[in-house]
Homo-oligomer: A and B are copies of this chain.
Amino acid sequence: MKDLTLTHEVLEALTTRVLMGMGAPQGSAETVARSLVLSNLVGHDSHGVIRLVEYSGWVQGGQIIPGALPRVEWEKQATALIDGEWGWGQMASALATQTVIASAQEFGTATAVLSRTNHVGRLGEYVDEIAQAGMMGIAFCNTGGEVVAPFGGIKKVLGTNPFAWSVPGVAGYNLVLDFSTAVVAAGKVILAAMNDQEIESGALIDKNGIPSTRAKDLEDGGALLAFGGHKGSGLSILIDVAAGMLAGNLPATISKSGFGNGTVIMAVDISRFVPLDFFRSITEQFAGTIHGAGAPGNSVVLMPGEMEAKTKELRLASGVVVSGGVRQSILEVAAKYGVPVPELGRSTPDL
């Protein structure tokens, strides 16, 4: 199929319908659709509407209960436990984010833990919301499915365990950092392996621990590497233990479920320490220094979150490109649930 460009409204509407087809109540479907399309808008298509395929499989496998709604299991002073009830991870994350912001408004700092939660989506979305509320946000989660070897090792025992961090930003964007602790996303390597392609060096070792660029080595007993040597590997280990244990889904290598995101979200109310206006004006000045830190004549050096904000502005105006492969995949998922998706055309190879 050919690529197709859709407005984000159209993409959200059709994604909502497909999710409702899977059994999601309208409110949940709208929240999840908004979250997925937001990932497309900011340029992280790997976390965008393509995830409908995976979610459909989980709904059919019983790992996602589409009608389940998250709830605050308990809240005690500056801590809260959110029970995802194995519903949509984005719903649980939205509740956790609201809870942690309200709690940090009262106590100055707060921590929410999400238990029994499916794929939470893109952590950057939630810490961005915390920054939008004038706070510093930290979020991390462990991921099922061991694909990463610890520094000095060759066996896959860690997930891609992402980490996100934000503070309120400047005109147009908050400072949002959001990264996988693996050098590259597992999905990217699996895709490259399907097409028998190479991946960048420094990201993968083969089954004997030898550095490799052959994507197929991941399935042939190899492993992804953590970014930044022992430092990124240490972050991944801390995330797996801290998030896995606090959330109760356990470190990936012990739970062996290959599933669920044990997630921790923290917030600190900045205005207790410094007036937010001053925070923003100095950060603006700091951003100017970073922008100018490149070689003479080179393009500006970007702040965390700036690329995403620029991409979002562009795609809000010109639409989101849905690749032929993604079109085909979503049409197939929609067909399973008898949901018509005329916006993507008919599922025939000649389109």
Contact = CB atoms under 8 A, between A and B. Distances in A.
Interface of A: 76-79, 81, 106-111, 113, 136, 138, 149-155, 157, 165-167, 175, 177, 179, 208-209, 227-232, 234-235, 237-238, 240-242, 245-248, 250-251, 253-254, 264, 266, 268-270, 272-274, 278-279, 282-283, 285-286, 289-290, 292-295, 301-304
A163 B166 CA distance: 15
Nearest to A207: B295
B269 A79 contact: yes
Given A78-B78, A155-B292, A175 B248 contact: no
B231 A227 contact: yes
Contact of A231 (B110, B232, B270, B282): B232
A167 B238 CA distance: 7
Given A138-B138, A157-B289, A179-B234, 12 more contacts: A77-B107, A77-B108, A78-B109, A79-B269, A81-B273, A153-B294, A155-B292, A179-B231, A241-B286, A246-B270, A251-B282, A254-B289
A266 B266 contact: yes
B238 A301 contact: no
Nearest to A77: B107
A301 B153 contact: yes
A175 B304 contact: no
A234 B295 contact: no
Secondary structure at the A interface, as helix, strand, loop or mixed, is mixed
B154 A294 contact: yes
Contact of A238 (B79, B113, B175): B175
A77 B278 CA distance: 23
A302 B266 CA distance: 28
B302 A152 contact: yes
Given A165-B235, A241-B283, A154 B228 contact: no
8 tightest Cβ-Cβ pairs between the two chains A and B: A228-B228, A79-B108, A153-B293, A109-B111, A177-B234, A155-B293, A153-B301, A78-B107
Given A77-B108, A268-B79, A238 B165 contact: yes
A246 B109 CA distance: 13
